[in-house]
Structure 1
């Protein structure tokens, strides 16, 4: 089935849009954009969206709606993930999005989020199976083990770059005590995951944390999507980059042009999630992909 589709993914830290032509089960990209909105600001502590966070996401959604209308999109899905699952005022969010975009956002489960990330990340990849896809977001981390036949096991963990930063970080640079607390939170959930991590023969890391870590590891003068997509980071590169991101000052990170300003304060916690995960696996590198849940949502419209 052919046609022009739009997918919107509203996460804890960012809202993203993909417009693509769906041709014979594959996507031909027309437009892809992202805005940092920090929708999950304070959610871990308050259990509700902050009014200023809602205003930011509504403004971005209005901008996306105009782009979608101009592109002549035939079918669309708007999905919301971790932050929207956790809050008491989710209907304010849903009503505001529907008013601006014209469709009611789907607050998808962690399991569906994981499966959509897997589909988006692994289309057209040739990897030794089974392979693990990890999507480290602002509020949650998805782990999906699968192969060409689909998902074998999946789980959404309540650890993310924004959640852990807000929960533990108060100093600049992050103190050793704070890093230890973040590490404990990560390890507790990785210890308990029902996804059999030891079976993974390859790892694909997707979404903003992983792509930002890759850009820093590659010493890119500015963010370059083409250079990041399908970049392979060795375990040593990942460890060295994570060490710098978690021990540097905010000003030092802000001076690195490949780090989006909206990720400067949370990228250290996100990188640490990825490193702690890879340390448990029998792999010597990580494949980073620009294709993720957004692509999976678009493919689901076929």
Structure 2
């Protein structure tokens, strides 16, 4: 028995779609079978850190992408949909303009459907559910880190679920707009970015007892891009990236390389999405700070990169 659902994750930098069949077999928990996955960079959070409001052109970019996603839902025969909005939508003073737009588009597929802002805590829990589903519970406890455009969720849990979570107010777009203006960034800018990341992530580590973790799992576009570059892929390949293991020295090496590059050098990398070129350096700074802290606090020696994340968690929440 199965039915077809859709999940949409609208973050600060990207908007992503998952259409999946929910398969129920006996008393087992429902599982998802992918029908379609897609990601577009729309930079909804453009300037929100500075202005406190969505830019009209950012809402329009998001509307165009969502319109196409809804067309795909209608064609696929989706019966239920859940769309969540995260960091940027929590911060924007004119977020009602965004929600009016999303309700109009989603309502074409499922009557009454509309986007919802989720708390940082729920964002963390959904990310955890999506990230660890394919990993052996014996590898736990897990620390799952969802490094987004405007926020970074740090979640500790095991096979029984989440034990502790915190949403830090830092992400690859936010840190880039605030600290990294040079092309490439100057040594002083990088130092400032590392201080900013350390300060914000210290708040997370003060709440989440990561010293209990045995395994670090990284999700979302910064981590998947770092893995693809580390693997030296000629183009992005999600199957190759999924469940890649990077030693921390290899992770630091690829981070340092990307931070030191200028815009054109990053853009020339085969697996680099054009929408990530200008913010991957900021994401790399955050990843390095995370690596240093998790090595020191928990003795973590490697990063597992998962393609499954909050998007899968959103879908499972309505399955």
With the length of structure 2 as denominator, give the TM-score of the two structures: 0.93
| Within-5 A mapping of 1:81-100 | 81-100=86-105
Contact 2:168–2:203 under 8 Å retained in 1? no
Contact 1:197–1:280 under 8 Å retained in 2? no
Unaligned runs of 5+ in 1: none
3-state DSSP class of the match of 1:297?
Answer: helix
3-state DSSP class of the match of 2:45?
Answer: coil
2:159 counterpart residue number: 148
3-state DSSP class of the match of 1:256?
Answer: coil
CA positional deviation for 1:278: 1.6
Q: Kindly indicate whether residue 310 of structure 2 is the aligned counterpart of residue 299 of structure 1.
A: no
Q: Which moved more, 1:192-201 or 1:212-221?
A: 192-201
Distance of 2:44 and 2:65 partners within structure 1: 11
CA positional deviation for 1:280: 1.4
Contact 1:131–1:201 under 8 Å retained in 2? yes
3-state DSSP class of the match of 2:54?
Answer: coil
Unaligned runs of 5+ in 2: 25-29, 108-112
Distance of 2:241 and 2:134 partners within structure 1: 17
Contact 2:12–2:150 under 8 Å retained in 1? yes
1:6 counterpart residue number: 6
Distance of 1:128 and 1:104 partners within structure 2: 37
Distance of 2:126 and 2:152 partners within structure 1: 13
Per-residue CA shift, 1:216-236, capped at 9, x if unaligned?
011001000000000001101
CA positional deviation for 1:168: 1.2
Out of 64, 68, 89, the position equivalent to 2:73 is: 68
2:303 counterpart residue number: 286
Contact 2:180–2:282 under 8 Å retained in 1? no
Contact 1:222–1:257 under 8 Å retained in 2? yes
Q: Which moved more, 1:123-132 or 1:78-87?
A: 123-132
Distance of 2:42 and 2:210 partners within structure 1: 32
2:27 counterpart residue number: none
Q: Kindly indicate whether residue 171 of structure 2 is the aligned counterpart of residue 160 of structure 1.
A: yes
2:124 counterpart residue number: 114
Distance of 2:202 and 2:167 partners within structure 1: 14
May I ask how many residue pairs the two structures share in their alignment?
302
Distance of 2:80 and 2:275 partners within structure 1: 30
CA positional deviation for 1:192: 2.3
Per-residue CA shift, 1:241-273, capped at 9, x if unaligned?
000111111110000020100000000111221
Q: Which moved more, 1:162-171 or 1:125-134?
A: 125-134
1:226 counterpart residue number: 239
With the length of structure 1 as denominator, give the TM-score of the two structures: 0.98
Distance of 2:209 and 2:284 partners within structure 1: 21
